[in-house]
Amino acid sequence: MSISDPIADMLTRIRNANAAKHDTVDVPASKMKISIADILVNEGYIEKYDLVDEGAFKNIHITLKYGADKNEKIITGMKRISKPGLRVYVNKDELPKVLGGLGIAILSTNQGVITDKEARKLHVGGEVLAFVW
């Protein structure tokens, strides 16, 4: 079965595993998903990720991050913005701020997949993939 929106599937898997208080979650790998996982590690939302080769398929093995106990979640919300049926593009002057700067927006630009803060520094716009807070 093919997935019509693989990025939304990745975000949903992370969101569900976080809600169920799992330590890890596996996501089918792609270049875009690896760069999104890289951003989540750099911004401190997930602990780490590993690429697992299972024969013909590659998976991203994501280790989730919690506070002092598992009741304290680091990721409180994730939302897919640009969807296959409705793409959302912004220019450098319209870059979104998530919760007044407390969260991050993940953008796909000509400079690669970056956060809204990096896009402001580089003065570029692009496709708004997701919000994480």
Q: How high is the pLDDT of residue 3?
A: 81
Quote the tokens at residue 28: 């089918």
User: Where would I find the H helices in the chain?
Assistant: 6-19, 31-42, 116-122
CATH number, span 6-132: 3.30.1490.10
Q: What is the dihedral of CA 12, 84, 6, 57, to 10 degrees?
A: 170
Q: How high is the pLDDT of residue 61?
A: 97
Low-confidence ranges of the chain (pLDDT < 50): none
What are 49's strand-pairing partners? 62
Query: 102's torsion region: left (phi>0), alpha (psi -120 to 50) or beta?
Result: alpha
Q: How high is the pLDDT of residue 70?
A: 82
